[in-house]
Structure 1
Amino acid sequence: MTTLQRDPYGSGGGPGPVTLDRREGPYGEVVLRRRGAGDDAVHEIIANGCFLMDTSDGRSERLLVDAALAALPADRPEPSVLIGGLGVGFSLARAAEEPRWGRITVVERERAVIDWHRAGPLGAVSERALADPRTEVAEGDLLHHLRTAPERYDALCLDIDNGPGWTVTDDNGGLYSPAGLAGCRERLTPGGVLAVWSARPSAEFEGALRNAGFEGVRTEEIAVARGVPDVVHLGQRAA
């Protein structure tokens, strides 16, 4: 996700965004909008009136995947990764660009977002990744998937909120609770990595990761044009 610092209605008095699709999903309204046109067009996702993410940058979403892979042992063959949240597709596209990854699973709870990738304008970001035989898209709630999926993963790359303290819906807060983080740790293979995207650094969340038994807890930053940097919080399950 990108930070909530840019004007969603454009700047300089130019035309406002164009709504391409609006749907009522299981967690409220989701909207796909376009700003600009042609090669300069930027697509953005709005949930319940809150600007979530757009296609203007993507560096921190790519870092989410790159940092998780870099933290894994270099000799681990074909590590598996679960990406929590399809979003605008930058994290998935980054994972599919890397031949070292094995199984790539994306969990997305909004059917509209999946449709916007499979048969809509966000396919410009994700088309090749979705066609990759390593990729599987699971429609459903991430917390439910983490509790019930039989498999473990070498990396969990989670980007379903604007951060641990800035959730899209109230029930997402359970992911960052002691029980939620313990569940993430148990879903990882020994030595596996948890990476969590956030629109701002959080020393409190670093402490929560340590309290949940994660090792090597750290935060990597991506500078933004204004305000605090986007970050990726990282922790590792003991080998």
Structure 2
Amino acid sequence: MTGRQTSGVSVPGAPTGLRERKKRRTREALLHTALRLFTAQGYDRTTVDEIVDAVDVSQRTFFRYFANKEAVAFAVQEEVDARFLTELRQRPAAEAPFEAMRRAALRAWSALSDAEDDDITAELQMRVYRMIESTPALHAAHMRRHIGLEQQTALLIAEREGLDVEADPRPRVAVAAFSGVMRMTGQLWGCRKDPGLDALRELTELHLDQLGPALSGSWRTA
């Protein structure tokens, strides 16, 4: 451990707003620095010591904000997933399940785009996505998180529709189909040369719009 404790420490008597802004800046500095190091030299080769040295804080400060390196690697995705679930809870009850999930996902990405700053750019997000996909430990964790999100989403859809998710398979089936398309668009985005979030939204809309037609009717032309 380093001996420094220069960030993340509450100053007695300091206004609450000032303390919170300091905490937020410290967390953002750790996140931005970690992601840049992960994508520049590899997740496995980056240590917590390197991250805290670059930010000039202690390991204790790092673990105040993140449980481990994995938590940093998935921090942005965690924000997107949380926003998606929040948006889904707020969708009008009259919307069909697929439409509600579609709009919630697009609004979650729009919120991320609106909050985008000079440090976590779309290009950096794409590099982080590629790093996760190419790092076995992170890829396994990504799949576990994906399954967890599917379970939460299925429960929400069942609640919206007044169904028992254990007795009616439709919520889980719908969410599985939706999640499969979302994962596919992420992979396609990760392979593109255009790293913009606009490109991600376009891919997402294009493929989600095909979900209904792909699951119903014949594909063959007359």
Shared fold (TM-score, shorter chain, > 0.5): no
Q: Which has the higher helix share?
A: 2
Structure with higher strand content: 1
- Asked which structure has the greater CA Rg, the reply is 2
